[in-house]
Structure 1
Amino acid sequence: MAETAVSFASQHLLPKFLEAVKMVRDLPKEVAEVTDELESFQEFIHEANKVAEAEEDNSKLNRIRKRLMRLREASFRMEDVIDDYLICDEKQSEEDPRCAALLCEAVEFIKSQIHRLQIAYQIQDVKSLVRAERDGFKNHFPIEPRSDSSRGKENFTWHKFRMDPLFIKEHEVVGLEGPTQTLKKWLTEGREERTVISIVGMAGLGKTTLSKQVFDKVHKHFECHVLITVSRPYAVEELLRTMMNELCKEIKEDPPRDISTMNQLSLIKEVRNRLCNKRYVVLFDDVWNETFWNDIELAMIDDKNGSRILITTREEKVAEFCKNCLLYRLQTLSKEKSLELLYKKAFGYGFHGRCLEDYEEAGLGIVRKCGYLPLAIVAIGSLLYRKCKSPSDWALFSQNLSLELESNFELDSVKKILSLSYDDLPQNLRSCLLYFGMYPEDYEVKCGRLIQQWIAEGFVKHELERNLEEVAEQQLMELISRSLVLVASFTIDGKVKACRVHDSMHEMIRGKIKNTGFCEYIDGHNHLDSSGITRRLTVATSSNDLSGSMEESEHVRSILIFANETEDFTSRLLGKYIRLKVLDFESAPLYEVPENLGSLIHLKYLSFRSTFIRSLPKSIGRLQNLETLDVRTKGEVQVPKEITKLRKLRHLLSRSISSTSLKNSLGSMTSLEKMYKLAIDEDGVVIRELGKLNQLRDLRLDDVRGDHVDTLCSSINEMPLLERLDIYVQYGAVIDLHITLSLCKLRKLHLFGSLKEFPNWISRLQSLVKLSLNQSRLTNIPLKSLGNMPNLLFLCFDAYSYEGETLHFQGFQKLKELRLKSLPQLSSIFIDSGALQSLEKLLIMNIRQLKAVPSGIQHLEKLQVLEIFHMPIEFLQSINPNGGEEHWMIQHVPHVSFVAKNSAMLFAEIAAGIFSSTLYRGVQT
């Protein structure tokens, strides 16, 4: 019997065992092959989806879509098995093989090998599935190979990405000169009654561009100006709330504390109070609802002083509902202007160096097929810039534009034009663009948030000598340069701060999302069905509407929450979507985090920003793949010590993190690149741990004491990659910062608290862009040395940062913004001739001893904005346009604004004759 058993084992079990050993040994190679195959398979699905888009027979279309669903599910399984392997491989790498002799460790080792064997079998299955599904689709619905006739030439040279973004600036606008002059006249002249002006036109005509250009030109004629993008759909209360916040922001005033709970009537009263007796202009961009005017009319007070409301809309009925409305119908561009716009986008800086006659015939054909719409022309021009350089290239491209675009050019044709640019993108950029479909229409998303989500999703790959953020920034700039993504705001040094997509682009993206399973967007008005399979989920409705949407949870990898109710949904969500990589609750009304948060072991991005949570569960320590944790909530958040187990965490963001929970273990979090704001406890032990975090790029510290400084400086000297440093000194402490590291990458420095002396190393920071001092109580600041800094663009001397009587500015050739606030001893400011020649914005606030404008301000030719807040009466009298002795020194500044401490004080000064009625029109209260 024993011999029989041995024989059986040798004949049957041993070969299977050896096969299993080989499969486990070859697993890394198999995973690498599947990873390579995934990219080509996704490209195949993209081409297969275009077959579906071109199919007109409904019966055949349904069959293609069913096959596409099977293809997508196969690609999802490929992604899943790769993720499972990475998790398993990381766990094994953490185990110490020397401990395998121990029984407990041996058991764990065997379990991990069994798991790896299971993954190996899954890989075999998925490879067979992919081959079968690919062959099955080809057999039923052949995909024509791409040729010159279908996509122009494939061998066009792709030019290196250039930082020449096609942002909409006044000198880049084409064909809107006439409309701009007309609308400017309507807004600034004419009847005294409040007047509504509506710009009406189809998508892509440039309504938003035109209205913003005009708004920027005329708002200096009004005491109050607000720009609001109207969402679709919108809640009236939220719209009024937005208006209130913008009005308060304009006058540097906090909104009422109870604004979030105000009803519609209370909000209307608050808005009316802030507009009362002021000549105002309000721009409502992209209005869809016919009854919009009924919703906001009561708030728009009419004091018969020439106030104006500007509306842009696609729907003429919106204008018809407005009373006393002036209607401007925006038309398509002329042939000549269309061609000029195409040339600008296609040739960039080489526009004037071309023999344009050679391109004219093909160019006219292209703009005709674009329907002379600016949006479509810009998209096609950006595509031509990369792919077509010679006249023959243009001719071929023009011939191959879809013939159906030549007739009945409506919104669907705009989408098709935009789809051409989408199809031209590589796979990772297509995914990056589609991600905007996870956000609501007209939503301005912060670039930092978007980039970290892209990284967590795997859209960004490592490149030599560049970190992931740099690669992702380049990808974003690529989409911007192709005119697919719009810039909403910039940082002072010209980097993109926030972005969005045009509403027509958003609609095109939503169509792609619906047909590709990329995302499902659920709200109370719109439920996108994604063929039963979806990879991502946006929740913009209450939990009561989600029962059906939570059934298909196996494939979901990312969830963004925009719902008004989240509590019940959250606990179910964490138990059901266990493979999540991105979970974003930003601004959702969330108060508690369930303990089972730790079950989301695949999670890479987790945000509770602007929620109401007070603590994180201990289970967060099990999120071993977490890279970004954002807990910048409405209040303080208790962070458990288990957070130090997150060895892959790169960004730890909070309004205040207690160092008590991180003491003695912070140094193990060596992947950290951003950490703020860390509150230092009394013993300062955690400061020594900081020195171990040599990957830090952004560090912000609070409650630094005088006896911490030596240790702190020593730790900072171990951070060669630091780009931003904020130090908040404990009240009453005086510190002496002596940093010896060159900090060659430091771009932003904020010091809040008393300094023994001005740190002399600051003036040697060659890369510094922003410098802010607050409460420094310095009697000497080396302005001459600071003035020689080569890249300084922003300088702020905030409250009590300087206690001297005079500031003398020399140099500062690149400085764009200067802020001087609450400097009680300052009585005179001198600006040398030739200094501050790039200054665009100057803020002077609450400097009680300063009775005259800075000497030399008249030489600042580029100064665009001068803000004067809470200054003494003598100062204001000196710049009164009616007789002020120094008014001539600031009359060249286009935008001068004043804010008094309160309305009563201002009106008393007006009654006393200090302000003329002319000057009062420029005053904000």
Structure 2
Amino acid sequence: MEVAMAALSSLIPKLGSLLTAEYNLQKGARGEIKFLKREMESMQATLKDLNKLPADQISHTNKLWMRDLAELSYDIEDSVDAFMVNLVRKAKIRHCIAMDIEDIKTRVQEVDERRRRYLPDVTMVPDRRLNIDPRVIAMFEEASSLVGIDGPAKKLINMLTQGDSIQKQKLMVVSVVGVGGLGKTTLANSVYKKLGAQFQRQAFVPVSLKPDMKNILCSILRQISRGKCKDAGEKDLSELIQNIRDFLSDKRYLIVIDDLWDEPSWDFLNTALIDNHHGSRVIVTTRNLDVGKICTGTVRGATVRGAVYELEPLSDKDSRRLLYTRVFKKEEGINTKLNEVAGKILKKCGGLPLAITTIAGLLASRKTKEEWYAVYNSICSGHVKTKDNMEKMRD
């Protein structure tokens, strides 16, 4: 529940920001964003109601819904971030944003539809269902099927576990750097789940462009205390930091700080970290290479072990696997006549998993080569030059 709450707390303000006059969106897109914001606010209210229940009264079905909601929120936030950093005043870009938002809207309604089928005891928003191709729902059901993640996960785990016996006892910070939509959060979450059992304390917190530091510290404290600090929200910042340090002082911990944007945010958050020589690890995901390097240098003025992992786009092979798995439920295309246009579409996606899965949602209900070419011709190519985007992260 903590992860889902944190994800929504980060996402909802961004949706509000996207509606400001600064972003010259198409009229229809503005309406869709307002819809998404209302939906997310309603889901957040439902989470707060569930949070009032004792932990043993929250059903497994509720927990699955919260997991889906957290994953969806992170995906939407990645898209919103991409909208904000692109030249949204250009008509072609605005058209692509409208397409992305329609796909996101469909996914939101899928999560709500699933909740309505299996969680009738939870009151949420009015029914706004659409007629959805069943394959789209099936694709969302398999969102946990990760393509191309094994290699990067192995590399990241090796970074986190390398060194001799003495080095392994020191705190280590690894920064995962990459453009939006490249799968940094997915990678960090995969490694977090694989290594979590090796640590006595764990926490996974999103930061975002305009972070609420108190909420972030509260989330860390609740997670590492395993729910014991239920009054975290009543504490001031200094109390939260001290409590976190107390819980971490003699424990081996793993903390993921997801989507860090700037140095001041790191300077503040690392005051809560401590090198207790128990082999603790911190994973930071960021779009900015300079921020990634800063994070791997010091913790509260002390030099720590650190490494930067620059995440690469998916290979051509993995890109095709991801597209076909999402559209056809298998790695080989059902219609080989689509292979050529699929290659053209994937070239425009530039190896970005978020772009590929978004396009897969558009292709799911289309079966002919002509329909696929229509989608291809409507795609913006803003992410094609991935290397150029990687260079921009250094600015």
- Shorter-normalised TM-score: what interval? 0.5 to 0.7
- Distance across 2 between alignment mates of 1:355 and 1:160: 17
The change in CA–CA distance for 1:238 and 1:411 in structure 2 (over 3 A counts) is farther
Which of 269, 274, 292 does residue 319 from structure 1 map onto? 292
1:585-642 deviation digits (Å, cap 9, x = unpaired): xxxxxxxxxxxxxxxxxxxxxxxxxxxxxxxxxxxxxxxxxxxxxxxxxxxxxxxxxx
The SS at the match of 1:245 is helix
Given that residues 342 and 377 in structure 1 are in contact (C-alpha distance below 8 angstroms), is that contact kept between their aligned partners in structure 2?
yes
Aligned-partner Cα distance in 1 for 2:361–2:184? 20
SS in 2 for 1:291: helix
Give the structure 1 partner of residue 59 of structure 2: none
Deviations 1:42-83 (A, max 9, x none): xxxxxxxxxx979xxxxxxxxxx9xx9xxx9xxxxxxxxxxx
1:804-883 equivalences under 5 Å are none
Q: Deviation at 1:176?
A: 1.6
Residue 219 of structure 1 corresponds to: 196
- Taking the TM superposition and a 5 Å limit, the aligned residue runs for 1:788-803 are none
On the 8 A contact 1:346/1:383 being kept in 2, the answer is: no
2:206 is aligned with 1:206:
no
Work out which of the residue numbers 168, 173, 176 in structure 2 matches 1:196.
Answer: 173
Identify the residue that residue 270 of structure 1 maps to in structure 2.
243
Q: How far apart, in 2, do the equivalents of 1:180 and 1:315 lie?
A: 20
1:260-317 CA distances to partner (integer Å, 9 max, x unpaired)?
4433332222111111211110011111122223112232111112100011111122
Of 365, 372, 375, the match for 1:394: 372
Note the C-alpha offset of 1:346: 1.7
Higher relative contact order (CA 8 A, sep 6+): 2
Partner of 1:336: 317
Query: 1:318 & 1:336 partners in 2: Cα distance?
Result: 31
Paired AA for residue 195 in structure 1: M
Instruction: Pick the structure with more helix per residue.
Output: 2
Note the C-alpha offset of 1:354.
4.2
Change (3 A) 1:179 1:352: closer
**Code of the aligned partner of 1:297:** N
CA contact (8 A) 1:200 1:314 kept: yes
CA distance in 2, matches of 1:300, 1:406: 36
* In structure 2, C-alpha distance between the alignment counterparts of 1:404 and 1:231, rounded to whole Å: 25
Deviations 1:827-868 (A, max 9, x none): xxxxxxxxxxxxxxxxxxxxxxxxxxxxxxxxxxxxxxxxxx
Is residue 2:372 matched to residue 1:379? no
**TM-score w.r.t. structure 2 length?**
0.57
**C-alpha spacing 1:394/1:218, structure 2 compared with 1 (3 Å):** same
Q: 1:333 touches 1:372 (CA, 8 Å); kept in 2?
A: yes
The Cα of 1:187 is off from its aligned counterpart by 2.5
Question: C-alpha offsets along residues 517-574 of structure 1, whole Å, 9 cap, x if unaligned?
Answer: xxxxxxxxxxxxxxxxxxxxxxxxxxxxxxxxxxxxxxxxxxxxxxxxxxxxxxxxxx
The correspondence of residues 29-44 of structure 1 with structure 2, limited to 5 A, is none
> Secondary structure of the residue that 2:357 maps to in structure 1?
helix
**How far apart in 1 are the matches of 2:379 and 2:354?**
17
Aligned-residue offset at 1:356: 5.5
Matches within 5 A, 1:683-762: none
Q: Counterpart amino acid of 1:358?
A: K
Q: Which runs of 5+ in 1 are unaligned?
A: 1-51, 55-64, 73-150, 152-157, 413-925
SS in 2 for 1:306: coil
What are the within-5 Å matches in structure 2 for residues 118-267 of structure 1?
160-161=133-134, 163-167=137-141, 170=144, 172-190=145-163, 191=167, 192-248=169-225, 250=226, 252-255=227-230, 257=231, 259-267=232-240
Q: Could you tell me how far 1:376 is from its partner in structure 2?
A: 0.8
Q: 2:229 & 2:383 partners in 1: Cα distance?
A: 53
> Which residue of structure 1 aligns with residue 348 of structure 2?
369
Q: Distance in 2 between matches of 1:276 and 1:406?
A: 43
Structure with bigger gyration radius: 1
Q: How many residues align?
A: 253
- Three-state SS of the structure 2 residue aligned to 1:166 is helix
CA RMSD of aligned residues (A): 3.1
Please state how far the C-alpha of 1:208 moved relative to its aligned partner: 0.8
Are the aligned partners of 1:292 and 1:318 in contact in 2 as well (CA < 8 Å)?
A: no
Shift of 1:226: 1.0
Shift in alpha-carbon separation, 1:381–1:169, aligned structure 2, 3 A: closer
Kept after mapping to 2: 8 A contact 1:196/1:311: yes
* Distance in 2 (alpha carbons) for counterparts of 1:175 and 1:289: 28
Inter-CA distance 189–225: structure 2 relative to 1 (3 Å threshold): farther
Q: State whether residues 291 and 318 of structure 1, in contact with CA within 8 Å, keep that contact through their aligned partners in structure 2.
A: no
Change (3 A) 1:319 1:405: closer
Q: CA deviation at 1:374?
A: 0.8
CA distance 1:304–1:175, shift in 2 (3 Å): same
Give the secondary-structure state (helix, strand or coil) at the position aligned to 1:164.
helix
Whichever structure has more strand as a proportion of its residues is 1
Look up the match of 2:259.
286
State the secondary structure of the residue aligned to 1:310: strand
Amino acid at match of 2:195: V
Q: Note the C-alpha offset of 1:233.
A: 1.6
Q: Is the 8 A contact 1:228 1:243 kept in 2?
A: yes
Task: Give the equivalent residue in structure 2 for 1:731.
Answer: none
One-letter amino acid of the structure 1 residue matched with residue 194 of structure 2 = K
Aligned pairs for 1:421-820 within 5 A: none
Q: Give the partner amino acid of 1:328.
A: Y
Q: What is the deviation of 1:360?
A: 1.8
Query: SS of the residue aligned with 1:196?
Result: strand
What is the deviation of 1:169?
Answer: 5.1
- Contact conserved, 2:260 with 2:266, CA < 8 A, in 1? no
Give the Cα–Cα distance (whole angstroms) in 2 for the partners of residues 209 and 401 of structure 1.
27
* Rounded Cα–Cα distance in structure 2 between residues aligned with 1:167 and 1:201: 26
Corresponding letter in the other structure for 1:184: I
Residues 324-351 of structure 1: per-residue CA shift (max 9 Å, x gap): 3310111111111111111112213xx3
Q: How far off is 1:223 after superposition?
A: 1.1
Q: 1:187·1:218 contact (CA, 8 Å) conserved in 2?
A: no
- Inter-CA distance 264–333: structure 2 relative to 1 (3 Å threshold): same
Match of 2:108 in 1: none
**Post-superposition offset of 1:175:** 1.2
Q: Work out the percentage of aligned pairs sharing the same amino acid.
A: 29
Whole-Å separation in 1 of the counterparts to 2:264 and 2:142: 31
Query: Could you tell me how far 1:207 is from its partner in structure 2?
Result: 0.7
Distance in 2 separating the partners of 1:395 and 1:314: 32
Assess if the C-alpha contact under 8 Å between 2:175 and 2:286 holds in 1.
Answer: yes
Q: Do the aligned partners of residues 234 and 193 (structure 1) sit closer, same or farther apart at CA in structure 2, a change above 3 Å counting?
A: same
User: Which one-letter code corresponds to 1:187 in the other structure?
Assistant: L
SS in 2 for 1:283: strand
* Residues 168/328 of structure 1: CA separation in 2 closer, same or farther (3 Å cut): farther
1:368/1:406 contact within 8 Å kept: no
Unmatched 5+ stretches in structure 2: 1-23, 32-98, 100-130, 298-304, 390-395
Give yes or no for the alignment of 1:347 onto 2:324: no
Letter in 1 for 2:325: K
